[in-house]
Every structure is written in structure tokens, then in C-alpha cells.
């Protein structure tokens, strides 16, 4: 193997030349005044310290760059050059590996998610293949409860009916793969595609075997610089709480309530509140998602 520091023995300086150079240096130092000699020595030391400092900085920068692209918490690593994220986790003989193209999704960009499930146990496992590939992938906002649009024109609904003929084997070392693409958009009323609200979202993975081995994982991303054209959820909640009928209901339960999952559909934000005194006592307010007007209040 060729060394980076190759030494050519055929180009060695003659001994006489080295000896004459050494004699010249010795003569120069001994013939110079003591103060000049000390000055030259100190100057040489300063240059050595300077060279050492530069080398230290270069080594430090290289070390930092390697650390920045290395594993995070042992099972997550980031590809700096492409900004993609590699994530993996395992449970009871199942290994999930994913590649997420970006952790910050913006308009006119795509989020490409790749996932594989591998049977790393020594036993044959089984899954229900009735609805095709059973690896579940979605991108969900835990605040607005909205899913990012995958580019499909319609949702494919599969009737989850158990049939023994649908059970498929997953042999040891066998791998299932799935890929999905998402956009910084949401679909409302099953027809209109609009830009999604900015904020925090989670890429959600799920898989379950017939042996009840469940493998779930989430990875956070952000949606940025979008223009959500509808009434923001927080404003809809504030309007709902100010309605006289809602205020009266909250007084009757001594303000002991929690907010349920909001739903964006049929031209409205549907905001539910549930009583903490009774699981059967709740109120649902429909707020027009364009005008902000209260359309309906229902006590259930």
C-alpha cells in the first residue's frame, strides 16, 4: 500500500551537503550575538506553536463534521448532503427501517417515505394480506388532527373482513417494503386540495402480525411556509367558547371539561367539548371554516 507520506530513497541529500549545512547553522548561531540567537530561537518556537494550532483546528473541524452526520441515540442518523433521515427500531423479532427524505416540508416540495419490515427472528410470522401491503404509513398533525395528502385522487377503502385465505407468511429474514409520497397539502370535504397548516407533524408507521406483535413508530417533521386559507383551529376554538350556549353548558359542569378531537368537514370546524363529570355529557359546535360564524351547537 502506498503511504501518503512517500519517501524516495534515491533523492537523499549527500552526507557532505547535510554536514556542510549543519556546520553553517552552527557557525551562524555561535557567531551571532546571544540576544540575536535567543530571538531566532523564540521566533522558531512561535512558528511551531502557530503550525500546531492550525493543525489542531483542522483536526477539530474534521472531528465535528463526522459527529454531526453520525448516529443519534443509536438508531437515527441524518444524511447531511441530502437532508434525509434514516430511522430504525425493532420489537419482538421485527425490524423497521425507514428513510424520510426531509424533516422540513415546504410548498412545491415532496416528502418521500420508504419503509421496510424484516423478520429478524428465527420463527415464521404471519400477517393479513387482504388489503395489500400491511405496512401503515401516514403523516398526521396532532394539533389540527389533519393528515397530509398523499397525492391520491380518492381514498381506497378496504373492508377489514377476516378470511383465513388472506393470511400470508413472513419467513425469517424476509423483508416487506413500502414507499409513499406526501405533499404539504390536505384534502377537505373529499374533493378540495388546499395547503396544510404550518406546524408539527408526525410520520407514523404501524405493522401487526397475526401473532399480535405490534410495531409502531413515529418521527417528527415540520411543515413550513404554507398559506392555510381557512380559519385557524385556535380561532375556531376561541369563537366556540364565547358562544352563550357553550358558556352556559360549561357553567353547568363547573368548567370541568376537556376538548375532544376537532373535525374539518362539510364547510365547518366541528369542535367537541366533553364533561369530566360524565362521559355521556358533551357539546359540539360547528364553526364555518371561512367566515368564522357559529353554524350549530348540539348538546349530546
Per residue, what are the HEC states of 62-124?
Answer: HHHHHHHCCEECCCEEEECCCCEEEEEEEECCEEEEEEECCCEECCCCCEEEEEEEEECCCCC
pLDDT at 280: 87
Do 84 and 203 contact (CB within 8 A), yes or no? Answer: no
Give the domains, in start order, of the chain with CATH numbers: 9-68 (no CATH), 76-223 (2.60.40.3880), 233-299 (3.10.450)
**Distance between CA atoms of 255 and 56, rounded to whole angstroms?**
63
pLDDT at 44: 54
Residue 125 host element (H or E):
strand 125-128
State the pTM of this model. Answer: 0.70
Q: Residues 108-144, buried b or exposed e (16+ Cβ, 10 A)?
A: eeebebbbbbbbebeeebebbebeeebbebbbebeeb
pLDDT at 108: 94
DSSP per-residue letters across 146-189: -B---S-SSPPP------GGGEEEE-TT-EEEEEEEE-SEEEET
**Distance between CA atoms of 108 and 105, rounded to whole angstroms?**
9
pLDDT tens-place string over residues 8-46: 444 444 444 444 444 444 444 444 444 444 544 454 554
Which of the residues in the chain have pLDDT under 50? 1-37, 39-41, 43, 46, 48, 50-74, 77-81
- H, E, C per residue of 275-287: ECCCCCCEEEEEE
Assign 201 to helix, strand or coil.
Answer: strand
Question: How buried is residue 264: exposed, middle or buried, by Cβ count under 10 Å (0-12/13-18/19+)?
Answer: buried
The residues, any chain, with a CB within 8 Å of residue 240's CB and separated by 6 or more, are 246, 271, 273, 285, 287, 294
Task: Share the mean pLDDT of the chain.
Answer: 80
Query: Which cell is 159 given?
Result: 373492508
Nearest to 186 by CA among 151, 218, 157, 220: 151
Query: Which cell is 169 given?
Result: 407468511
**Distance between CA atoms of 283 and 94, rounded to whole angstroms?**
43
Cα-trace Rg, the chain: 34
pLDDT at 153: 67
Amino acid at each position: 500500500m502506498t503511504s501518503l507520506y512517500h519517501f524516495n530513497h534515491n533523492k537523499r541529500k549527500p552526507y557532505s551537503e547535510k554536514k556542510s549545512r549543519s556546520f553553517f547553522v552552527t557557525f551562524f548561531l555561535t557567531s551571532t550575538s546571544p540576544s540575536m540567537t535567543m530571538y531566532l530561537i523564540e521566533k522558531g518556537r512561535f512558528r511551531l506553536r502557530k503550525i500546531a494550532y492550525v493543525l489542531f483546528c483542522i483536526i477539530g473541524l474534521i472531528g465535528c463534521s463526522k459527529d454531526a452526520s453520525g448516529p443519534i441515540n443509536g438508531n437515527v442518523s441524518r444524511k447531511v448532503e441530502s437532508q434525509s433521515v434514516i430511522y430504525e427500531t425493532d420489537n419482538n423479532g421485527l425490524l423497521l427501517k425507514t428513510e424520510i427524505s426531509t424533516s422540513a416540508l415546504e410548498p412545491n416540495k415532496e416528502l418521500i417515505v420508504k419503509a421496510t419490515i424484516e423478520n429478524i427472528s428465527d420463527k415464521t410470522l404471519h400477517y393479513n394480506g387482504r388489503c395489500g401491503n400491511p405496512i401503515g404509513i401516514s403523516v398526521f398533525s396532532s394539533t389540527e388532527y389533519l393528515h397530509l395528502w398523499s397525492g391520491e385522487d380518492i381514498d381506497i377503502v378496504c373492508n377489514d373482513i377476516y378470511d383465513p385465505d388472506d393470511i400470508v407468511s413472513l419467513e425469517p429474514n424476509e423483508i416487506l417494503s413500502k414507499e409513499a409520497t406526501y405533499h404539504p397539502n390536505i384534502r377537505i370535504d373529499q374533493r378540495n386540495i388546499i395547503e396544510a397548516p404550518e406546524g408539527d407533524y408526525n410520520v407514523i408507521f404501524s405493522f401487526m402480525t397475526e401473532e399480535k406483535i405490534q410495531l409502531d413508530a413515529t418521527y417528527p417533521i415540520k411543515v413550513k411556509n404554507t398559506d392555510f386559507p381557512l380559519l385557524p383551529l385556535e380561532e375556531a376554538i376561541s369563537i366556540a367558547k364565547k358562544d352563550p350556549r357553550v358558556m352556559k353548558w360549561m357553567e353547568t359542569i363547573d368548567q370541568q371539561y376537556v376538548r375532544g378531537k376537532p373535525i374539518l368537514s362539510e364547510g365547518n370546524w366541528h369542535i367537541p367539548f366533553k364533561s369530566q363529570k360524565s362521559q355521556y355529557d358533551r357539546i359540539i359546535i360547528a364553526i364555518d371554516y371561512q367566515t368564522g360564524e357559529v353554524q350549530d351547537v348540539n348538546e349530546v
